[in-house]
Structure 1
Amino acid sequence: MTLSWLSIFRLGLVQLCLGALVVLMTSTLNRVMVVELSLPAVLPGLLVGLHYAIQITRPNWGFRSDTQGNRTIFVIGGMAVLALGAFLATLGMVWMQTAYLAGLVLSIAAYTLIGLGVGASGTSLLALLATATDPRRRAAAATITWLMMIFGIAVTATLVGKALDPYSPQLLLELVALVGGMAVTVTTLAIWGIEARHRGNRPIIAESPIPFRAGLAEIWAERRARHFTLFIFLSMTAYFMQELILEPYAGLSFGLTPGQSTQLSGAQNGGVFVGMLVVGIAATGLKIGSLRAWIMAGCLGSALSLITLAALGQMPQGGALLQPATIALGLFNGMFAVAAIGSMMALAGEGRAAREGTRMGLWGASQAIAAGLGGLFGAAAVDVARQLTDDATAFGLVFTVEAGLFVIAAVMAAQIIGAGQSAPQSQDFQGDKA
């Protein structure tokens, strides 16, 4: 029994809750540490990087949900751990005002819990979607769940931002606790019973337990799974390289104020939203193009948009086209991202049976590592380049490198991903025996 549209929407609510909690850690707490507490910006940057690094445990969570046969518990439990981590991270930040060392230690522990919670809940959720969604609905399912995550991020940031004015540590603790409690409650109600109905009356065949490393080795021996992991790492590194440098580029090269650059970032996210929606409607509803074609279009379009952004910095009136180019970048980023997620869900079900969670975990870990390294590399590269040349040229060089990575990712997608949305090619999953 495959998931109905209502069940897919319910699972999307879990993604919404994940986005709602994570944005508080990566946005709200980041701002309070730097502005209200006057802490160095590198501190929240390292803490956020820690939560990405911890997500290297995603393959382990996926393997556990594969072998223990109850993804629902991992989704709910992971969300509870994430909510606890979010509250402790807020408490640690508050402690830093009076007991810096104690607050820092608590914050490190809290962001570790955040990484574990995101890994356990997010990986198990994607594995459930991959195994239970009809292949014809996978692109739409990816679109729905990711759009709901973006919606959760936007709504939470807006509502908490308004409720937090005027700021006080006590109020922030109360708001984070409220959001965390609501996230766990909504997640439990949203996912409860879906996995059991998907199984129906089919018995679960228990297999002899094997160590995690052996299970992961089985997946790594699958040629397409291994190559897809490398594709995810490369493409997501390119995707996240501009995350920390686009707004500084707008300010330094075009004179935009903080408010204007924030609006520019909002316009980019609007483009991401539209790009995801286009792929969901076209690939599923109208049957236009394969997921491979949409991934390649998204990668190549992103590369062209980045080259345009780099060129605008060298033009006297380039600022007039900055927003359209940024929206275009968001549009193609969104197309690529949701098509890649759809392909990930399709490929997760191929190869050795009962390893969907392990594959999703492996790819999720690759994505998380790329997110952390991509943002760090982009910012560091700009700092180095600015010592050697002017601001516009420095940013342009990094955008050009990012564009090159997207082109390479498009070539890899053409070779790795099947022409159909989920056409099985089991011969590629037999490992390398030659």
Structure 2
Amino acid sequence: MKIGSFHIGSSFVDLLTSGVLNRILISDLNIWAAPVALLSALRYLLAPLSIWAGYRSDTRPIFGFHRLPYIWGGRIPMVLSLPLLPIITVMLAANPRSILAWSLAVFSFLIYGVGTLLSGSTFLALVRDSAPPEKRGQAMSIVQTFLVISFPIAGVVYGLMMPVYDPATFWQIVLFGMGIATMAFFFSLLGEEQRHGTIVADAPSEQLPFRTLLREMWGDRRTRLFFLFLALGATSAFAQDAVLEPFGGDVFGLSVGETTRFNAYWGTGVVLSLIGTVIYTRNRQAHEQTGTTMIGLILTSIPLALLGVIAITEAEAMLIPVLFAFGLGFGIYTVGAVSLLMAMTSDHRAGAYLGLWTVAQLLFRGLGIFLGGLIRDLGLITTGSLNIAYGLVFFLEAIGLAICVILVYKVDVPGFARQTRTSVPSASFAAAAE
């Protein structure tokens, strides 16, 4: 639980860049969604850095520490990039086409993204190192639960602090978020790694050349289908990430504070369904979770389709219940997908497979975020209607997740698990994070 408090800081800084800023730029300053979404997607498009950082932390200790230097080497630049956000909003409010403002925005998000990727995988490795093998699943579950719970809390706090956009108040919540994050990081990491600790490789075969491993993995049809499932699922599930809060402002005229609480509504649903699904499926093996994943996909796609209806009909009374339902479905989908991801990992190629699945999720999550903004803008240009533009994003997400149901059914996860003799715990919260 101590090391899990790290994610309290993660949620408070992440929401500033992925939620509050997007709403201000798109809805309050009337800037096109596509460039704003591309800013949010930058860190995910740099996802291969996470594999490199994890490899370096395994093999290149700094001052006798394997993990902590890489974690702090990422988190410190992340936090220090945040004061640029209120400066950027003021500059873009004065001139939305300011090259200097957009250059600062790209610089800020690149620093933030690189910091996230350098520290994210190495932090998860630290969590893994801190627990005995039989308890690593439980340790990861506790740590990631902190992240899932902290996001709704951060959304409520920021919403109360800035119910309506104001540059001075935005400065205050940025400084507040930086303070919370710094304290959480220090508390969680203090004493969590011993100097000159030894990292034991679980899979000597990981030392094979990366291209050889990649060809070997990619030659399996099940690997290709599962990669496609993860990629399409990440694209479809996160396409609304940059436009959900602007949707509340543009279609219903809601304030910044009200739209920031969207994260609390669907985040609460995620927490409840995560816990409930893990308890209900606790006796299942990881490779037996295909049905859970399919149910989660369906229960996530239906609320997204309903959001499309809400956007077109302006049925505001349905908005909060549907956001909560979206969270419920997403939590079930997460538990199922994480279990399958574990089952689709060979014992002797664990690092390579997990790296491949991480890249699939992060790269295509970033692509989805960008596409969500682009589709919104193209829809607005084509139809002249914000309602239809946002509805189009939600409808396409629902279709993508429905296709994922077919893909995951065709993968044959049990066959892969039997062939590779993978033995892993059942459902975990692990993928609720990034």
What's the TM-score bracket when you normalise by the shorter of the two chains?
0.7 to 0.9
CA distance in 2, matches of 1:272, 1:203: 35
Q: Alignment partner for residue 238 of structure 2, among 229, 234, 240?
A: 240
Matching residue's letter, 1:28: V
Mapping for residues 315-354 of structure 1, pairs under 5 Å: 323-344=320-341, 347=344, 350-352=347-349
CA contact (8 A) 1:58 1:119 kept: yes
1:56/1:203 Cα in 2 relative to 1: closer, same or farther (>3 Å)? Answer: closer
Superposition map of 1:17-416 within 5 A: 17-33=9-25, 43-68=35-60, 70-93=66-89, 101-129=99-127, 143-163=141-161, 172-173=170-171, 175-177=173-175, 179-194=177-192, 214-215=209-210, 218-219=213-214, 221-222=216-217, 223=220, 227-244=225-242, 256-258=252-254, 266-284=264-282, 290-309=288-307, 323-344=320-341, 347=344, 350-352=347-349, 356=351, 359-384=353-378, 387=382, 399-416=394-411
3-state SS of 1:371 partner: helix
Q: TM-score, normalised by structure 2?
A: 0.73
Task: Tell me by how many angstroms 1:239 deviates.
Answer: 0.5
CA deviation after TM superposition for structure 1 residue 246, in Å: 5.4
Partner residue, 1:12: 4
Q: Offset at 1:112?
A: 0.6
Cα gap change, 1:384 to 1:77, in 2 (>3 Å):
closer
CA RMSD of aligned residues (A): 4.6
Residue by residue over 1:293-349, the C-alpha shift from the partner in whole angstroms, topping out at 9 and shown as x without a partner, is 32222112223444455567898x976655444432221112112433354456557
Distance across 2 between alignment mates of 1:257 and 1:193: 48
Deviations, residues 175-218 of structure 1 (Å, cap 9, x unaligned): 53553354344334424554559x9888669989979xx43652
Residue 25 of structure 1: how far off its partner (Å): 1.7
Verify the 8 A CA contact 2:82 2:174 in the aligned structure 1.
yes
Query: Residues 107-166 of structure 1, C-alpha deviation per residue, up to 9 Å, x if partnerless?
Result: 322211111111111122334556776787676555533432233333334434545689
Percent identity over the alignment? 24
Note the residue ranges of structure 1 that are not aligned, 5 or more in a row. 1-8, 429-434
TM-score, normalised to structure 1's length?
0.73
State how far apart, in whole Å, the 2-side matches of 1:172 and 1:231 are. 39
Give the SS at the match of 2:46. Answer: helix
Structure 2 gaps, min length 5: 423-434
Alpha-carbon distance in 2 for matches of 1:396, 1:131: 45
Q: Which residue of 1 aligns with 2:428?
A: none
**Aligned in 2, Cα 1:205/1:348: closer, same or farther, shift over 3 Å?**
closer
The 1:426–1:246 alpha-carbon spacing in structure 2 relative to 1, beyond 3 Å, is same
- 1:332 is aligned with what amino acid? G
Question: 1:310, 1:32 → 2: CA distance?
Answer: 22
Q: Are the equivalent residues in 2 in contact too, given 1:272–1:330 (CA < 8 A)?
A: yes
- Asked if 1 retains the 8 angstrom alpha-carbon contact of 2:159 and 2:260, the reply is no
Cα gap change, 1:77 to 1:338, in 2 (>3 Å): farther
In 1, Cα distance between the equivalents of 2:20 and 2:84?
14
Distance 1:312 1:27 in 2: 21
2-structure distance, mates of 1:175, 1:209 = 44
When residues 300 and 318 of structure 1 are mapped into structure 2, their CA distance, relative to the original with a 3 A threshold, is same
Counterparts of 1:335 and 1:37, CA distance in 2: 36
Instruction: Give the SS at the match of 1:120.
Output: helix
In 2, Cα distance between equivalents of 1:321 and 1:166: 23
Could you tell me how far apart the structure 1 residues matched to 2:193 and 2:113 are?
Answer: 24
Residue correspondences, number: 409
SS at match of 1:258: coil
> SS state of the match for residue 348, structure 2?
coil
- Structure 1 position 394, deviation (Å): 6.7
Kept in 2, the 8 Å contact 1:138–1:345? The answer is: no
Give the Cα separation in 2 of the matches to 1:200 and 1:43. Answer: 44
- The verdict on how the C-alpha distance between 1:363 and 1:220 changes in structure 2, with shifts beyond 3 A counting, is farther
Q: CA shift at 1:258, angstroms?
A: 1.6
The 1:249/1:191 distance shift into structure 2, 3 A limit, reads: closer
Cα distance 1:79–1:36, how it changes in 2: closer, same or farther (>3 A)?
A: same
Mapped partners of 2:319, 2:284: distance in 1: 33
Q: Is the 8 A contact 1:94 1:169 kept in 2?
A: yes
* Structure 2 SS opposite 1:402: helix
